[in-house]
Amino acid sequence: MLRATLGGAVKTGSRSSSASFLLLFLLTFLVSRLFLSSSPSSILFAVSRPAIPPIMAYRTHDDAYPPAVSTDTLVAPYPSRNQPWSHDPMDAPYGEKPLPMAYGFTPAQSRDELAGGFAAQQQYPNPYARAPPPKKSRKGLIALIAGIVIVVIIAIVLIVYFVAVKPHSGDKSSSNGGKAAHDNKLIVGTDGTNVTTETGATFTYKNKFGGYFIHDPLNPYNDGAKAQSYTPALNESWKFGVDRILGVNLGCVAPSCAVPPKHSSLTPLTHSGWLVPEPFIVPGLYEKYFDDQNVNGDEWTLSIAMTNDTAGGGLAQMEEHYRTFITEEDFAAIAGAGLNWIRLPVPFNAFGTIGNEPFLPHAAWNYTLKAFDWARKYGIRINLDLHTMPGSQNGLNHSGKKGYVAWMSSVMGYANTERSLDFIRSVVEFISQPEYKNVVPMISPVNEPQGQDQAAMHAFYLHLYQMIREITGVGEGNGPYIAIHDHFEPISNWQNFLTGADRLVLDTHPYFTFGGQDNPSIDSFPPKPCSTWGTQINASMNTFGMTIAGEWSLGFNDCGQYIWGLRDAPHTSNCDAEWNDYTKWTPDTKDKFLSLAKSHMDALGNFFFWTWKVGVSKNTGLVGAPMWSYSLGLEQGWIPDDPRSALGECERLGVVAQPDQYYVGQLQPWQTGGAGAGQLAPTATVGLDWPPAALVTIANSPVPTYTATAPIPTLPTQTFAAAATATADGWFNDADNLPGIAPIAGCAYPDPWNPGDVPPPPCTGGQQQAPLARRLAGPQPTAASL
């Protein structure tokens, strides 16, 4: 497998600036070689790293960030490794003294203090560590003379830079278009930089948090961008359990946006929006077909309506939605809002369709690749959420088709599951490539499964984990973290699940919205996230390991356009009068929403708000579900403009955890790919055989299955300008060479989405029909080696 070279590339430029830059390089190199390389305690002036262009000025946290530039010869600044919460002093909310975090440590503590024994493993030295006082010797005089010489040479370098190089630097603008020479410029943009996108649209990059973006046309895998000063650059290690995930979903706020408590008679709901459209996030798509009673709020019926509407654009309307609903400017704004991760919902039809599935095939993958590009440019990490499954994993509209659960359930449950494992395999192979692993460090393979047997679901998660780690290998840096949804079980049920598993994440989706109560007032809600979820999340971090809130919102009630679907009324009595029109909210109401937002952020720790953007209703001209839009709340003042200001909100509201209820501040080594990772406890796999007998046999008859005869399912890669060096080929592990799955020739299959309860007569089509073993060639790993 070819590896990407993430270093700098030679840029085109004027002869004079190139010569000046060469002189600058030689002088800097001379200084570093003669005076700086011999002493470990030297103050570094130049640093060479494989993932960064070779000449970089070392910057401490307090240094000013680089000015926005656009130049043929400029190299990216050295992205300093900043400690979150420790070097950026900030005022406590409401003018109070700094308060303890829900994590159980204070903002004054550094990463190394929290990590205990991890200091020696850090890529960068602990800035608080002090070296012993030097012994007196003649070396001091030599050092003094060397220092004087260094100062003189630095002065010469600066004169050369400001006289010869800087006059050729250009203005504060960034462009992805224009003449070839301009296209090849390396651009490092900071707050105030003007950006021109590939479509010709322009905007100004606004980032008050010290972040910077990198546009490097000759090196499309440049991972040097940094979303904020307190967030590691993409080519720096993210310390799970220490660095905090401050994220949003690029999805919906739709009637299927959460699942109500068990034993509720209500129809559960969840979200998507950009690549998985749903009514309350993108109401305009559905309002056009509101009078068509066949359109029930899912993508299946919407796609049929669009396809039949040839005069209105046909199914191409869906791609137009992809193209316009989320753009590069959204990614820049997310970084500018102080957020450092996104959760990206992607539908299974991004990888193709079969039979009569009406979805637009493959196009969503093209926009997923755009999301990878934009995230890389602005220093944002991605949790890739596979949001829909063939046959539907929960029968909700966000799963593709509303009504029936035929994934890991029913006659076609096993075949649909094998189909999903096939494209999950493809995605893991793609994002584990060295060119993408920094941008997509986490995958959520199945969103909100519901309706499956609990034991079967646990067996699936073990099989999924084994498949992924066979592809990626075990240990930090080898493939993504794997986020499994809690299956709407109490998160305490998972504390001993797959103990010893390498980099497993528990994903929970806490909502107040869908309990079916009439909640006309917000007054009592701000403290509730703290008392309801805070200690549970801490306990899960201390036992299971990395735990995230993959979705949450400010929906304290079920008000909002289309929250329950296109035609279902809410249970709250005063939605129209009080909550659906945010332009009527008083400053006091906004303050209460702001406190509710902060208490969620404080209690949940590592989170993804649902969602970044909610579309405007064509009927009202307003966002109809305002409690679900992060960007709208940011604009209107009920979302904090700095998410770090939420720290201590629970204590301010009077919800104080007991000493034994705090998160201890670090995960165990095996939970982050360190010592012991992949060494499953002997009892961890007991009773989790795959496939479960009940999934492959119904009424004493074998269920339909697929066969491994298709080509290896490699996903398409990105295309770049001719000058760029593209090294990714879409497949990480060449030893994973088993064919993809396909229907058995000559066999008739039931409808994968509504197959009924009785298996058809067995059909082999001349081939052996048996459960597929999705394993790599070679020896099978043992529990101790996974």
What is the set of domains in the chain, with CATH numbers?
Answer: 15-83+127-215 (no CATH), 246-672 (3.20.20.80)
Give the pLDDT confidence score for residue 154 in this predicted structure: 61
Give the pLDDT confidence score for residue 156 in this predicted structure: 54
How far apart CA 357 and CA 29 sit, in angstroms, is 61
Q: Is the pLDDT of residue 495 over 50?
A: yes
In the block, which residue shows the tokens 């048996």?
Answer: 770
Give the pLDDT confidence score for residue 188 in this predicted structure: 97
pLDDT digits (tens, 9 = 90+) for 513-566: 988 889 999 999 999 999 999 999 999 999 999 999 999 999 999 999 888 877
Q: Is the pLDDT of residue 226 over 90?
A: yes
Give the pLDDT confidence score for residue 269 in this predicted structure: 33
Per-residue pLDDT, averaged over 15-33, amounts to 44
| % of the chain with per-residue pLDDT over 70 | 71
pLDDT digits (tens, 9 = 90+) for 442-494: 999 999 999 999 999 999 999 999 999 999 999 999 999 999 999 999 999 99
Give the pLDDT confidence score for residue 617 in this predicted structure: 86
Per-residue pLDDT, averaged over 693-704, amounts to 95
Between 643 and 260, where is the model more confident?
643
Q: Are 392 and 401 in contact (CB under 8 A)?
A: yes
Confidence of residue 251 (pLDDT cuts 50, 70, 90): low
Per-residue pLDDT, averaged over 719-747, amounts to 92
pLDDT digits (tens, 9 = 90+) for 444-454: 999 999 999 99
Q: Are 102 and 603 in contact (CB under 8 A)?
A: yes
Give the pLDDT confidence score for residue 158 in this predicted structure: 52
For 92, which DSSP code?
P
Q: Is the pLDDT of residue 132 over 70?
A: no
Give the pLDDT confidence score for residue 766 in this predicted structure: 52
Q: Count Cβ neighbours within 10 Å for each residue of 64-81 and write b for 16 or more, e otherwise.
A: ebbebbbbbbbbbbbbbb
Q: Is the pLDDT of residue 255 over 50?
A: no
Q: Are 390 and 353 in contact (CB under 8 A)?
A: no
**Any alpha helices (H) in 496-614, and if so which ranges?**
528-529, 535-542, 587-604
Q: Is the pLDDT of residue 757 over 90?
A: no
For residue 640, the Cα-to-chain-centroid distance in whole angstroms is: 20
Give the pLDDT confidence score for residue 297 in this predicted structure: 84
Lowest mean pLDDT among 162-166, 317-321, 732-736, 747-751: 162-166
Confidence of residue 397 (pLDDT cuts 50, 70, 90): confident
Confidence of residue 377 (pLDDT cuts 50, 70, 90): very high
Give the pLDDT confidence score for residue 277 in this predicted structure: 80
Q: Is the pLDDT of residue 422 over 50?
A: yes
Q: Is the pLDDT of residue 364 over 80?
A: yes
Number of neighbours of residue 497 by Cβ within 10 angstroms: 19
Give the pLDDT confidence score for residue 672 in this predicted structure: 98
Lowest mean pLDDT among 385-399, 592-606, 756-770: 756-770
How far apart CA 252 and CA 278 sit, in angstroms, is 6
Confidence of residue 567 (pLDDT cuts 50, 70, 90): confident
Lowest mean pLDDT among 644-648, 671-675, 763-767: 763-767
Between 500 and 129, where is the model more confident?
500
Confidence of residue 73 (pLDDT cuts 50, 70, 90): very low
Q: Count Cβ neighbours within 10 Å for each residue of 387-399 and write b for 16 or more, e otherwise.
A: bbbbbbbbbbbbb
Give the pLDDT confidence score for residue 661 in this predicted structure: 95
| pTM score of the predicted model | 0.78
Burial of 465 (0-12, 13-18, 19+ CB in 10 A): buried
Give the pLDDT confidence score for residue 184 in this predicted structure: 82
pLDDT digits (tens, 9 = 90+) for 339-354: 999 999 999 999 999 9
Residues in the chain: 786
Give the pLDDT confidence score for residue 268 in this predicted structure: 31
Give the pLDDT confidence score for residue 198 in this predicted structure: 92
Q: Is the pLDDT of residue 587 over 50?
A: yes
Q: Are 389 and 460 in contact (CB under 8 A)?
A: no
Q: Are 597 and 554 in contact (CB under 8 A)?
A: yes
Most confident stretch, 9-13, 140-144, 282-286: 282-286
**Which amino acid is located at 84 in the chain?**
P
Give the pLDDT confidence score for residue 29 in this predicted structure: 47
| % of the chain with per-residue pLDDT over 90 | 63
How far apart CA 174 and CA 172 sit, in angstroms, is 7
Give the pLDDT confidence score for residue 774 in this predicted structure: 46
